[in-house]
Amino acid sequence: MNKNLQLGAVLCLLAGVVVMGAVAVKKTAAATTPEKFIHVRVNDASKGEMVSVNVPLSLAEKVIPTIHNGNLRNGKVTIGNMDMQDVDVRALLTAVASSPDNEFVTVKEKDQEVRVAKSKGNFIIHVTDLSSDSDESDKSAKPDKSNKKHGQNVDITIPISVVNALVPNEKQELDLVAAIRALSNASEALLVTVHDGTQDVKIWIDSQNDGSK
Amino acid sequence: MILLAKLALGTLGTVVAAGGVISSEGFVSVRVHEKKPGGTHVSLMVPAMVLDTGLRFVPKENLQDASEQVRPWLPTIHAAIDALKSEGDTTFVEVREENQHVTVGTHNGAIVVDVDDDGETVHVSTPLRAIDNAIDQIAAAGPKN
């Protein structure tokens, strides 16, 4: 009888340890949900300059609603007199979101190419501009002896959920905080890359706090 | 002899307690190192509480202008500092030029600014809690609404 009691007590103890362990593991998993950062990196190879900005999305989410200045109030930007010509943008976006991945628009000109597509829940905009105007704007840059047209490449990838959050409501407001939340919930992604001559701009989201990816 | 020991123990206790209180808010650290031969080297470690206490002695009329400017931004500053406190160590801004390297970030609950160029290196570290308290004091120096 005594042995049975002892066995019961040990089993209860073991069960308690297992339950507490499971709870602890669950809590740890919740606590270590990685913080997302938005990174902006500007590189100018000709001048040897680099600027890097890393902002935690949670910081932006907490700070932006407290700013009440100009058109930005309570985390929303009011855009004045935006005439959508009776187009239901939200319905349009929903339709695009539920359609299969596809390239919707392709424009090809002599020096320019624009493509708009949808892929894996993202809007993708790709612009290639081969005109050499952009090179002439920066006279201070070291001359390129290759005499090659650099042009400009712009790639934008935006999760559809973020675009949805940025659709203006009936008060003509863009909800920045909702867009940041949507970005936080989106997977790690490269949002914008711009290549212009010797300059590169990159904006992306990941869980690294110093943009060392 | 026992009286002397009690006295020493009391003094030691007071010093330890005072040290604990003074360092409770952390330290403001400033280091400047000029690279030229014979250049200046400055290294300061000031308890952040001194900043807090020093502000109490600044005449309020001298802080009114700053107070008026900072008040509308108080909720934003508090939200930012609270968020920064809960973040781990982060480098927010890094600028690298040919002869200069600047970083701004947080480390162990303090805002840290490091500048390294041809002429000098500068390091400034200020606890977030001290910044929060100082801003509160500056805001409170203005006229009551």
The ipTM is 0.77
Is B98–A48 a contact, with Cβ atoms under 8 angstroms apart? yes
Residue A138 confidence (pLDDT) above 80: no
Question: Count of CB atoms within 10 A of residue A162's CB?
Answer: 20
Q: Is A49 within 8 Å of chain B by CB?
A: yes
Alpha-carbon gap, residue A7 to B25, rounded angstroms: 53
Over the stretch B76-132, which tens digit does the pLDDT of each residue have?
Answer: 999 999 999 888 889 999 999 989 999 999 999 999 999 999 999 999 999 999 999
Q: Is B65 within 8 Å of chain A by CB?
A: no
Q: Is A168 within 8 Å of chain B by CB?
A: no
Task: Specify whether the CB–CB gap between A159 and A183 falls below 8 A.
Answer: yes
Over the stretch B41-87, which tens digit does the pLDDT of each residue have?
Answer: 999 999 988 888 888 888 888 888 999 999 999 999 999 999 998 88
User: Which chain B residue is nearest to residue A62, measuring alpha carbons?
Assistant: B79
User: Which chain A residue is nearest to residue B98, measuring alpha carbons?
Assistant: A48
Q: Is A45 within 8 Å of chain B by CB?
A: no
A180–chain B nearest CA distance, Å: 15
Chain B residues in contact with A57 by the CB 8 A cut-off are: none
Chain CA centroid to CA A56, Å? 12
* Exposed / middle / buried, residue A167 (Cβ in 10 Å: 0-12, 13-18, 19+): middle
Nearest to B90 among A66, A68, A209 (CB): A209
Alpha-carbon gap, residue B137 to A105, rounded angstroms: 57
* Exposed / middle / buried, residue B22 (Cβ in 10 Å: 0-12, 13-18, 19+): middle
